[in-house]
Amino acid sequence: AQKVTQAQTEISVVEKEDVTLDCVYETRDTTYYLFWYKQPPSGELVFLIRRNSFDEQNEISGRYSWNFQKSTSSFNFTITASQVVDSAVYFCALSAYSGGYQKVTFGIGTKLQVIP
């Protein structure tokens, strides 16, 4: 069984602060993929990143960075110098090959509020 835990349900930061969103996952599969999605107030899901289980290199994209630690089953997401436009719900997700396709399990999301 797969499980994704996002322990922080809500976070508030002041603009320009850095913020880290935590994600811990459980799976018995050796090959799996991890994702982060952003859901702004408008409601759509915006894909941010996909990482496979064999690639533990950290990734940076502009103000966003991701830290994948297989040893602790964590895939944390950091926003540097946060902006009001970063206010959204962020979902961590895990997919593994099961029954012939990639089955995706989502965490419950972390609501980030960036205060101007």
Partner 1 sequence: NAGVMQNPRHLVRRRGQEARLRCSPMKGHSHVYWYRQLPEEGLKFMVYLQKENIIDESGMPKERFSAEFPKEGPSILRIQQVVRGDSAAYFCASSPPPAGEKTQYFGPGTRLLVL
Asked if residue 102 binds partner 1 (CB under 8 A), the reply is yes
Q: CB of 16: closest distance to partner 1 in angstroms?
A: 28
The only residue of 28, 57, 61, 100 in contact with partner 1, by rule CB under 8 A: 100
- Nearest Cα neighbor of 23 from 72, 73, 76 is 76
- Nearest Cα neighbor of 36 from 73, 89, 83 is 89
Query: Would you state the structure tokens that stand for residue 84, as one six-digit string?
Result: 């009001």
Residues 4-33 that bind partner 1 (CB under 8 A): 33
Distances from the Cα of 13 to the Cα of 40, 82, 85, 87, 92, angstroms:
16, 8, 12, 10, 20
Q: CB of 73: closest distance to partner 1 in angstroms?
A: 18
Binding mask 54-73 for partner 1 (x = CB under 8 A): --------------------
- The residue ranges that bind partner 1 (CB under 8 A) are 33, 35, 37, 43-45, 47, 50, 52, 91, 93, 95, 97, 99-109
